[in-house]
């Protein structure tokens, strides 16, 4: 499981001119799920992201987590994170999980984040989405489950 994590001042997801999710200060997480991923990987990654110390403390150092600052998380499924561009000119998505495997793991990830008291917004799995954000920092990290 792979996540691109962006610290944001705000974020939103729009589908066909309708905003379906919006958050304020927090994280936008683009989540890629592989066919070999498990519920344990989803739980590990959710816990890791919620507790990453990437928000500033009183001295301006990245020393506080999303949970500590009371931030929100916008979670967007993105199979294209597993696009392999090493060969040819068209990405191969052979590592990306099929929807019947990915959707339950996406939902488990969201549940694990919520269980930690984080308010979430979500994209719609498989939909053509417009994701907007105001990056804070900018701070962008790639986090991968073991």
Residue 78 is a catalytic residue: yes
Active site residue 79: yes
Closest CA to 30 of 66, 67, 55, 5: 5
Active site annotation includes 80: yes
Residue with structure tokens 């060969």? 87
- CA dist 12 and 28 (Å) reads 9
The count of residues in the chain is 146
Q: H-type helices in 1-146, by residue range?
A: 39-51, 66-69, 99-115
Helix (H, G, I), strand (E, B) or coil at 97: coil
The catalytically annotated residue of 10, 55, 59, 78 is 78
Q: Exactly one of 6, 55, 79, 120 is catalytic; which is it?
A: 79
Q: Which of 6, 10, 55, 80 is catalytic?
A: 80
Active site residues: 78-80
């Amino acid at each position: 499981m792979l996540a691109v994590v962006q610290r944001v001042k705000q974020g939103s997801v729009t589908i066909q001119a309708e905003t379906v999710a919006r958050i304020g200060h927090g994280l936008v997480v683009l989540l890629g799920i592989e066919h070999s991923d498990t519920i344990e990987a989803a739980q590990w990654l959710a816990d890791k992201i919620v507790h990453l110390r990437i928000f500033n403390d009183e001295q301006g150092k990245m020393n506080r987590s999303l949970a500590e600052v009371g931030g929100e998380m916008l979670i967007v499924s993105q199979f294209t994170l597993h696009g392999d561009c090493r060969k040819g000119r068209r990405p191969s998505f052979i590592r990306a999980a099929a929807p019947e495997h990915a959707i339950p793991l996406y939902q488990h990830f969201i549940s694990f984040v919520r269980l930690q008291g984080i308010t979430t917004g979500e994209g719609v799995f498989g939909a053509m989405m417009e994701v907007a954000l105001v990056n804070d920092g900018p701070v962008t990290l790639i986090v991968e489950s073991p």
